[in-house]
Each structure stands twice: as structure tokens, then as C-alpha cells.
Amino acid sequence: MELKDYQADVLSDLSSYLQTLLDFKGHLSKSFTDYWKNRGVLNQSYKNNIQEVPHVCVKVPTAGGKTFIAVNALDRIFTAFAEYNPTKPKFVVWLVPSLTILEQTIKNLANIDHPYRQRLNDLFQGRVQIYEKTDVLQGAGFNADSVREQLSVVVMSFDSLKATNKENRKAYQENGYLASFLSDGSHDDSLLPEYDKSSLINVIRTLNPVVVVDESHNAESSLSLDMLRNLNPSFIFDLTATPRDNSNIISYVDALRLKKQNMVKLPVIVANQRSQEDVIMAALNMRRQLEVLAKAAQANGAGYIRPIVLFQAEPKNKDDTTTFEKVKKILVDLNIPPEHIAIKTSAVNELKDVQLLEKSCPVRYIITVNALKEGWDCPFAYILATLANKSSVVDVTQILGRVLRMPYTRKHSAELLNLSYVFTASSQFQATLNQVVAALNKAGFSKRDYRELDVASLPLPEVAPSVTDTKDMFNEGTSDESATDDAAALGLDTGKLDSQWEEVAVKIEQGQSVGLQENPVEMSSLTTIAAIQEQALVRAQEFEDQALLADTQDCPEELKAHMNEHKIKPKFEDATTLLKLPQFFLKIPSTGGFFDSGDTWQKLAKENLLSDFVLANLDATVNFSAIDSEVYSVDAEEIGKGESALAFKAIKKTEKEKLNQIIRGQPSSGQVRSIVSRLFSLIGKNTFYPIEDNDVKIYLSRIVQAMSAEQRSDCLERDYSYVKVIKEKIQSLANEFAEKEFGNCLAIQKIKLQPSFSFLKSITPSDNAPSISKSLYVTEGGLNNLEAKVIRGVAELENIVWWHRNLERGKGFVLNGFINHYPDFVVLTQGKTIILIETKGDDRDNSDSKDKLKLGRAWADHANQLTHETGFRYHYMMVFESNPIAGAMTTGEALKLVEQL
């Protein structure tokens, strides 16, 4: 199971936040504010819900795969912890809001064949154990030794730690099964003194867990926060479609991104009918036609789909309403086979142990009130038919999200199978639409994600039989197998009706007029649905166009007011839209297959240059004598009112010394293994991707084996400093290899430049530059003193059209070669020369400068070969305040040259 692009972006956001947290040594407020400032979002303040504990949230709409995101997030969080405490137990408390989600989560995480568990096994080398609350209370495979050796995940409901009944109070009582966790007293300061040391709550507290909170909007009350506080967490990771006001959101996923990845059936087509009877008939007819389309697609190789209708009945205690018993009776009276119908309410659950996605499952209709809430997802559910009184405002808030998930998460050939449907019969349709919007908001979507159609306003057909009228025409006595299908319930010729439905479906898909002119009963059965479907396809295309135009980097609506956003000046907009700066592309050779379209080109990434890089036989001599004598330390920073900003609780000195003594007592081979293990945990998995982790471990072994006994002992004391030097060594070797590979590929034209980068219509810098004439954007990104001096001089030249402060962190233009280089400025002259300018203070590292200068010159040389195609010439220059390296120049020299271009 691969990550969707938006899921990968969420995890990238998490990694960025964790790195910012490390950079600020755990200062919660500063790290959160800086994290967003770097994305051009200002004035984002951290809500310190639980003192000293990072507590962040990701907003992902329903059907966006929040559980899979959380599974992948665990590795990143524990890798960040390893920076401070490599011996920290990988212990997780995974909280869910309901028994339905609890059962689902445990089942999926514990099943070794499920993609979630397979991913956990990949990330944690197969050392994974999933527990229920009863398992840990009884010590079933849960002890101090097992927790040290594996990833341990305890899945519990929010309520299970609230001491509100006898069963829940067990977590706070003395427990002999957990005696192995009783320590030497080093963790006593983390215990709740009112409970026994061996109680589950105190054991959890000593393990300082990472807490995952699924559907976290259900856990934001003061009581829930007290419960979270009692767990003594080291990190809290919330996932929800609807974050509360006190959430610290670090990542937003827009609904259109789910649509692009075929995760959801959008837009929702909301059709208002004339009566409850019409709602039922519309649902029957639409479901049948969707099944015809699904069967046709399956015959052409698509997956099996059996469209399902969710009938939303009224609660029993309301007068004159369509309760679930009445709905079932109506369906049965319409000759719908009883086995096609299932009831799911708080009191009746006919879906228990039913596998709705199996081909052998007959269920096509599910009748509920509001029991299908979070945690119930069936991709075959296409239609929500709500049967409130016509005078009522329809409340679909609880269950609309249940019809949104897309079967097989791929686009289907019949467009009608890519949408979802809501049928209502309300005289207060606008108020009902407001309920639909509320339901979409609850699922993390918005008002743009539905399209309305008021069928009640359409002209009446010549004959519009009610449900009762239609019942009289049913072939109740037939023994033909097709009579058990609800299509036969229409009393018409089943084969003819199926054929007509297929004909209508084809016409609608092709945008043709349906033109039903046959008998009135058939017209009544098909006209309304045909009208809905024709409109649905029009609205769906509008939505597709909107999704395609949407920029995946657009700022979420929630943050737009805080964005430091600046647009391109109108006078430059048209010309800049057509401008594409050249970037390096790599040739991907043809495989020679029948369907192969020949050689292709993809944008070069540094990783492409390292595909053949192997550390095994390279120099493993590392000079550790340059390590400074300071011992790496992490101190809690006092920020007022007794609030500590320590994010990750560092390993205690006494514990580290105890561990070091154990390692020193090992034979030489054991010492090497232990030190390599510690160094690798501090480096982290996939740090040097695409270099294999096993290759890094072998290289570390060579380094440690070459150490003297004194160096090994010193390495245990100053492991962070040693890791820093080793990482620099590996990076230098990789850079050297990548540079050679880059040069070779350029020489044989396996790498070439192509026009690629387009300027954004607006930028969101972390801070703003002072007003300087001829800027491309209304306001440019911030400048240091040297940058401001250089660009003021450039802007004063008569031949300059515009200048732009290039942004980093993936927002701006990158020279993508053997290094990724973001030049400080892009400048356009009246002579149609594009100049890249990199400024350097005299204190900058020359080795970095030399690499950038070499890459910049290579870019300019090859870009000028495109002049006949692009109409531009290209130049790169590096500007030093003074004392330039060979090939660079001073500010004065640079300005004289720019004036001539």
C-alpha cells in the first residue's frame, strides 16, 4: 500500500515540524510559530494544552486514510526522539472514540496481512505487538522486556481510562501482572502518588508514551485533556477532519486532493423529490442503474461493485414518521428480497459479521436512523435516501460521510460511479442543503463539494405512480431467478427494462438526449433518474475542471487571513506566465516493451545520481580529533509561569552511564555491535536515501572497528558529536560521487535542460523585503544586509525589467544538479537575459560556494543552447562582499557586468 501524494505531504509536514522542534530545543511556542512562518503564515500561536508536551494535529477529510498516515507517522516521531534518547521505549497509546472504531483499528493493526500492519512491520523490522486494554491488564505478552525490544501499540477507547465504572477502574488498581515494570525508583517522579506503582496507569506513565488520538475532535473536553495528561505522554498526535479551536494544526489536506487521488465520490448530487414515495423509487431506480453500469464495467475487467442504498429512517418516538420497520415493509411489499435488506440501528444490528464487500453478500439496502457514524465505511454505499417528513428539515449530518469513500480508490469508466447521491423530499430544501453543508463540514469537506437539483420543481410526467400504485404491478408469483432481483420489482419486462436502463446510461454518458417516448409507466420509472443523471454529469464535469485547476500548494481557507501573500505585479503578469526557467532532466531509457512509448525524460533529483553509490568500499577514515570538548546537552528552557519548553525528555545521565558501563563490559565484537546500533539510531533510517540503511550500518561497523578502546569509550560519552562528524563524512562522499555522475551524464547528454519552472501567481515568504523598485512581486521575501545592498544596486540600473527574491524550501526556483541550489535572485534585463545571482558573505564556507558556482556555470552554459527555443539568454554570477573565490566577483564588478547584459 503506497502513500498517496497528499499523505506523503502530511508526513513531510510532520517531519518539518519535528525538525523545527529539535532546532528550537523543544520550545513549543517558538517552534510552532516558526514552523508556520517558514510557510508564509504569520501570527500562528501554540495552544499549550498539556504543559511540556508537543501536541499537534493534522486535518484530513473523511476517507483520506488517517489511520495509514498515523501508522507512518510513528516511525518519524520515534526517529526524532532518538536525537535525544535512543533508548526510549517505542510505546504507543492509540485512542479511538467508539467501540466500532476500536474493533476496526485492532483488527487491522493486528492482522499481519493487512496493509497497515505490513507497513508497521516494514518500519520496525517486524518487531511489532498490538494490544487491547485487557491484554495489558493481564500482562498477556506485555512486560518490561518485550516493550524494550519492539514497537508496542495499545489500542483503547477514550472512555476506557475514565474511572467511571468497575471495569475502567482496573487501570488504577494494584496489578501483579505488571510487576516486571517496577523500577529501581528512577521513575518515581512520574508516578501518580494516589495509585499503586504497579497500576496500569502508572506503568504507562513510566513509559512516557507517544499518544495517537483518532477523531480527536471527540477528545477536546477538559475531562479528556485530564485523561491525556494522566498518560504522561511525550508526544500527542491528533487526527481529525474537524479540528477544535484549541488544536495545533500542522497540516491541512484539501478535499480536492482526495478527489484527484480518487479517494472520494465527489461531488455529492443532492436531489430533492416531491414525496417520500418518490425518494424510495428514485433510490431503487438509481441503485439499479448504477449496478447495470458496474456490471458492464466488471465485464470489461473492472472490480466488482454492488451499489448500496442507505435509507435514513426517522426515530420511533416521532409521530407520523417513516420508521425503519415501515421502510423495510415498503421494500418487501415492492418485492425486494428480504436478504437484500439489512437494518442497523442502536438496537438492531443485522450487519454484524456481514462482509459487505464480498461478492456473495446480497445486501443492497441498509436501513438506519443515525447508527452509521464514524468508523463505518463501505465504498459500495452510493446513495443516501432520507425519509424525514416533507415538512421537516433533513438532518444528514451523522451519516452523509458514509457514502463518500470511492471503491478501489480509482476512477471508474462510468462517470456516474464516481459520484455519490442524496435523495430527500423536503419543502424546506434550502434548509436541507444547509444540513448537507454541515454534514460535509463534519467530514472535512465544504459547500463547494456538492451540487443541488430540485426535482420537485421539474414538470410532472404524464403518469407518476406512487409506491402503492407500483406495487400492484409486481410479478409476485414468478419463480424466475430474476424475480429475486429488485429490478423485477418494477413489474415491467425485466430484460427490456435492463436494456432500456443500459441504453439510457450510454446516452447520458455520451451527452445525448434521452427522449423517453414509450409507455407512461416506463417513462415514470426513468424520467426523473435520467434528469438527475444528465445534470449530475454536467455538474461532475464542472467539479473535475475545478479540481484540475486547484493548486495543491494553495493555502487552506482557514489560514488565508494569516498568509503573508503577495501577488505578481499586474504589469508583469502576462509575460511572466509564459516564462519557464530551464531545469535539468534525466533520460529514462526505453524498456523495449510492446506498450513502451520510447525514451522519456523526468526532472532530475539528486537521488537519481546516487543509484549506483555504495559506501562499502569507500574510505572509512574519520578524523574525530576535531570534535569540540563540549558535551551535547538538552536543557529545559524556562519561559515563564513555571512552563517548561522541553519537547523530548532526554535520557537521564545516570541511566546513560549505566548503559555505557554495560557496553564497556562487553567483548570487543559486542561493543562494536552496540555502538553501531546506537550511532545508527541517532543517524536515523533513510537519512541518506537512496543509500541503503544496511550499507550505512556496514560503513559504521568499519569506522567503529578501527577505533581504539579509548575512542569507543569517548564515543559512548559524546555519541551526538561523533554522529555529526560521521554524517558529514558520508555526505561528502555522496556529494563527490554525485558530482562526477552529473558531469558524466551531461557529457553523454543523458542529462539536459528543459524549460520547466513557472513563477507562482503569488508568494508567501516568511518575512518581507523593504520596498525596492522593479520587484516582480508587490512585496518580495526578506533580505539580509548584503542581499539588500546588491539588489538595490541592480534595481537602479536602467536595463533592468524586474528582479525577484527567490524562495527556498521547495517554493522557489532550484538548480537541481548534484546539489540543490536556490540562487538568491532572479533578474530579467531589457536585453532578455535572465541572470541568477547568489550572494555570499565573507564568512561563508568556500566548499559550498565552489559547488554552487560550478553548478550555476554549468546551468548557464547549457541553458544558452536553448536560446533559439526560449528567446532568452542566461547568466549565473556569485557575488561576495569582498575576497571572492575564483570565478566569483565583488558587488562592484557584478553591477558593471549586469549593466552590460
More confident position, 662 or 68: 68
What pLDDT, on a 0 to 100 scale, did the predictor assign at position 275? 84
What does DSSP assign to residue 231? T
Q: Which amino acid is at 5?
A: D
pLDDT digits (tens, 9 = 90+) for 548-557: 665 545 567 7
| Cis bond before residue 338 (omega within 30° of 0) | no
The Cα 444–Cα 254 span in angstroms is: 8
Query: Buried (b) or exposed (e) across 504-514, using 16+ Cβ within 10 A?
Result: bbebbeeeeeb
pLDDT digits (tens, 9 = 90+) for 242-275: 888 889 999 998 888 888 888 999 888 888 888 8
Q: Which domains does the chain have, with CATH numbers?
A: 5-254 (3.40.50), 257-549 (3.40.50), 606-629+651-746 (no CATH), 758-900 (3.40.1350)
- 203 CB burial (10 A radius; 0-12, 13-18, 19+): buried
What pLDDT, on a 0 to 100 scale, did the predictor assign at position 632? 41
pTM: 0.78
Instruction: Assign 163 a pLDDT band (cuts: 50, 70, 90).
Output: low
- For residue 34, count other CB atoms closer than 10 A to its CB: 18
Instruction: Assign 439 a pLDDT band (cuts: 50, 70, 90).
Output: confident
What pLDDT, on a 0 to 100 scale, did the predictor assign at position 551? 52
Residue 444 Ramachandran class (φ > 0 left, ψ -120 to 50 alpha, else beta):
left
Instruction: Assign 31 a pLDDT band (cuts: 50, 70, 90).
Output: very high
What pLDDT, on a 0 to 100 scale, did the predictor assign at position 899? 93
Provide the grid cell at 892.
562592484
- Percentage of the chain with pLDDT > 90? 40
- State CA 700 to chain mean position distance: 34
The residue written with cell numbers 448537507 in the block is 436
Instruction: Assign 637 a pLDDT band (cuts: 50, 70, 90).
Output: very low
Q: What's the maximum distance between 2 C-alpha atoms anywhere in the chain?
A: 99
The separation between the first and the last C-alpha atoms of the chain, rounded to the nearest angstrom, is 52
Q: How many residues does the chain have?
A: 901
The Cα 294–Cα 410 span in angstroms is: 14
Tell me whether strands 308-312 and 365-368 are parallel, antiparallel or unpaired.
parallel
More confident position, 561 or 636: 561
| Alpha-helical segments (H) within 235-344 | 255-260, 276-299, 324-333
pLDDT digits (tens, 9 = 90+) for 716-733: 888 888 988 999 999 999
What pLDDT, on a 0 to 100 scale, did the predictor assign at position 488? 43
What pLDDT, on a 0 to 100 scale, did the predictor assign at position 451? 84
pLDDT digits (tens, 9 = 90+) for 565-620: 899 999 999 889 889 999 999 988 765 554 445 568 999 998 899 989 999 888 98
List Cβ neighbours of 861 (8 Å cut-off, separation of 6 or more).
Answer: none
Average pLDDT of the segment spanning 669-674: 88
Question: Is residue 221's pLDDT more than 90?
Answer: no
Provide the grid cell at 869.
527555443
Residue 718 has φ and ψ, to the nearest 5°, of -125, 50
Average pLDDT of the segment spanning 182-194: 73
Question: Is residue 842's pLDDT more than 60?
Answer: yes
The Cα 78–Cα 89 span in angstroms is: 9
